[in-house]
């Protein structure tokens, strides 16, 4: 499924986890036929983040 909206969690010193409201927002939008996706860049090494982000944006 290709998402129309991609929510990206940018990792930082205080933002490692995805805010809980993000999941509710995605669920709400999906129920209204707006496909959404979440990309948590904190799961990847710093060296991989740019290539992972580029791959998702190209899709």
Read off the pLDDT of residues 31-48 as tens digits, 9 standing for 90 and up.
999 999 999 998 898 899
Tokens coding 40: 């948590």
Q: What is the pLDDT of residues 1-40, one digit of tens each?
A: 566 888 988 888 777 788 889 999 999 999 999 999 999 9
The domain locations on the chain are: 5-58
Q: What CA–CA distance (Å, rounded) separates 24 from 47?
A: 30
The per-residue pLDDT for 19 is 86
Please give the pLDDT value at position 4. Answer: 85
pLDDT of residue 34: 92
Tokens of 19: 């805010």
State the pLDDT at residue 14. Answer: 76
CA angle, 10 then 48 then 5, to 5°? 45
* Residue of 40, 41, 30, 42 lying closest to 5 (CA atoms): 30
């Amino acid at each position: 499924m290709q998402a129309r909206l991609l929510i990206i969690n940018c990792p930082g010193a205080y933002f490692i986890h995805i805010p809980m409201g993000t999941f509710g927002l995605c669920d709400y939008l999906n129920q209204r036929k707006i496909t959404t996706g979440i990309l948590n860049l904190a799961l990847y090494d710093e060296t991989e983040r740019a290539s992972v982000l580029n791959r998702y944006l190209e899709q």
